[in-house]
Amino acid sequence: MPAPASRSRAAHRSGHEAHERLDEALRVALKIGAPSAAWQAHAALSLLHRRRGRRAEAERHTAAHARLIEEAAGSLAAEELRRRFLASSAEHEALPALRP
């Protein structure tokens, strides 16, 4: 069984790798114009930073996540459809990433 320090280093590497992959996913999503993938990456990055105690980074990704959802909702013509979209987004995407 690995020593606690060894497990800690492995967890850190794993977290670093997750961060790199999420950054890459976000970069690609923004480049190809895939807002759904971008807001999911922002939500995951927000959660990752929050867990690491990086509040400013987490808040930046939370704000970007919310902005993308608002932009997507704004593109919907019907008000009722916009409300449903925002409610669904909050339930399935935003809320887990916004929890402390």
pLDDT at 9 over 80: no
Backbone phi, psi, residue 95, to 5°: -60, -45
The residue segments making up the domain with residue 70 are 4-98
Question: Which two tokens mark 15?
Answer: 């977290």
Beta carbons of 83 and 74 less than 8 angstroms apart:
no
Helix orientation angle between 79-89 and 55-74, rounded to the nearest 10 degrees: 150
Place of tokens 């809320």: 95
d(CA 6, CA 54): 23
pLDDT at residue number 16 = 80
Determine the length of the chain. Answer: 100
Does 70 or 8 have the greater pLDDT score? Answer: 70
pLDDT at residue number 79 = 74
- The mean of the pLDDT values for the chain is 76
Q: What angle do CA 41, 50, 32 make, to 5 degrees?
A: 15
Question: Which two tokens mark 30?
Answer: 């923004």
Mean pLDDT value of segment 26-53: 92
pLDDT at 95 over 50: no
What band does 90 get if pLDDT is binned at 50, 70 and 90?
low
pLDDT at residue number 53 = 93
Does 71 or 64 have the greater pLDDT score? Answer: 64
Q: How many domains does the chain have?
A: 1
